[in-house]
Structure 1
Amino acid sequence: MGWLLDASVHVLGADILWREIIGNAIGLASAVLGMGRRTAAWPVGMVANVLLFTVFLGGVFATPQDTDLYGQAGRQVLFFAVSAYGWWRWQRNRRTGAGAPAVVPRWATGRERLGLLLAAAAGLLVAWWALGRLGSYGPLADAWIFVGSVLATYGMARGYLEFWLVWVAVDAVGVPLLLRAGYYPSALLYVVYGAFCVWGFATWLRLRRSVVPPVDDPALESIG
């Protein structure tokens, strides 16, 4: 297995792991499938999670990028678990929806948004403390990427339109952190992800409007 762990390409004076390139490419494929509401997005993403987990523990696996990003690595584990939930949920929706899409995009309710904000605040504080103790590079930024990514993945499983916006906020923090840490393919992919998430949000918003036409009754609107 040594060749798989060590295989790299030399680009602009730096050794870049093929695992990082391939894992990020698979992750992007998962995002494209997710925008199209394809159930396959989840298992494809889980493959990327396994590869990227080994990448972000550079010091542990003695790879060219020897900076350990414990938040980035840890979120791959939670991604895997949340993706299993999303896979199950989207498959159940297909079975019970008699041919309906795996998920119907919608805005989160006020209560759901409050729950997400509280989870984000509590998770950020705990992750910041834990990652700082572990010696993670850039613990505050790494903590936000960790927490925001998990919330965005959960939001995708639930069909919340807001999950795209959370991803944009994650990417905005992730790009400078990954550049400083030397994870150049991942930083580049975060730039691509940011633009892709804006496109995905617009796509899901159009789908939402096509499924539920505008209404004037606030009681009806709150259902979405």
Structure 2
Amino acid sequence: MFEQNISSAISASLAAMSLWEVAAVILALAYLLLAMREKISCWYAAFASTAIYLFLFWDVSLLMESALQVFYLIMAVYGWWQWRNHRDRQDNLKIHRWSAKTHGMVIGTTLVLTLLIGYLLERNTSAALPYLDSFTTLGAVVTTYMVTRKVLENWLYWIVVDGASIYLYLDRELYLTAVLFMLYLVLVVIGFFQWLTIYQKEKLEKALISTPAPQTSAAIQ
């Protein structure tokens, strides 16, 4: 009986699903696939998807998620500018890593702000799942910035944020978006290993360039 109710709810949701949600999901997926390949066009897809989700999340009372989309719009422009500005320069923006200290500060600050904002939302608004909504929003803010700066560990952060987001969207009956984030969990793992390979290759090339060539006996004489 329980499974039948779940199946009926999903069927009803799919039947009433907005074409806007379908478009947003397709564009969001395109963004991630392009970002995995370090394609600057990923930011165009991100901007369009975000603009749609801004209204979708507001409609289902996910206030922080809706506010997050405004940040995403800004970061899509910033990310495009960062990648484009460094693309043809000698000091090209490379994939790099943050120190353990930086990660600790970022994670700690995110958790404290999650509790603070979640509490304020719970007391003063009608926001659904205020603490989880706050966590996924703040986590996405940090992780999106990491993508614009090509920080390798952004993919690991996304695993946590996307996993939490799945429950959030299921609760709000945004089933297609929840499925998208399930797919994201697979893609971010692939993305991590792709960027890790690039990072290791660039690190090796840099080490070889900085290593002085051995002098020959003729040069010594």
Quickly say closer, same or farther: Cα 1:113–1:207, change in 2 above 3 A.
same
Structure possessing the higher radius of gyration over alpha carbons: 2
Q: How many residues align?
A: 196
Tell me if the contact between 1:168 and 1:197 (Cα under 8 Å) persists in the aligned partners. yes
Alignment of 1:3-152 (within 5 A): 12-14=11-13, 15-58=16-59, 67-97=60-90, 103-132=93-122, 133-152=124-143
Gaps of 5+ in 1: 1-9, 59-66, 217-224
Runs of 4 or more consecutive aligned structure 1 residues displaced over 3 Å after TM superposition: none
Provide the identity percentage.
22
Task: Report the alpha carbon displacement of residue 109 of structure 1 after superposing the two structures with TM.
Answer: 2.5
Tell me if the contact between 1:175 and 1:191 (Cα under 8 Å) persists in the aligned partners. yes
C-alpha separation in 1, matches of 2:113 and 2:76: 19
Corresponding residue number in structure 1 for 2:213: none
SS in 2 for 1:37: coil
Corresponding residue number in structure 1 for 2:191: 200
Given the two structures, how large is their TM-score scaled by the length of structure 2?
0.81
More helix by share: 2
1:163-209 CA deviation, whole Å, 9 max, x = no partner?
Answer: 11111101111111211210111101010011110110011011111
Tell me if the contact between 1:127 and 1:147 (Cα under 8 Å) persists in the aligned partners. no
1:116-149 CA deviation, whole Å, 9 max, x = no partner?
Answer: 2244134323431343232211111111110111
C-alpha separation in 2, matches of 1:55 and 1:47: 13
Given the two structures, how large is their TM-score scaled by the length of structure 1?
0.80
Task: Report the alpha carbon displacement of residue 19 of structure 1 after superposing the two structures with TM.
Answer: 0.8
Task: Report the alpha carbon displacement of residue 84 of structure 1 after superposing the two structures with TM.
Answer: 1.8
1:68-107 CA deviation, whole Å, 9 max, x = no partner?
Answer: 1112111111111122221111111113238x5xx42221
Gaps of 5+ in 2: 1-8, 208-221
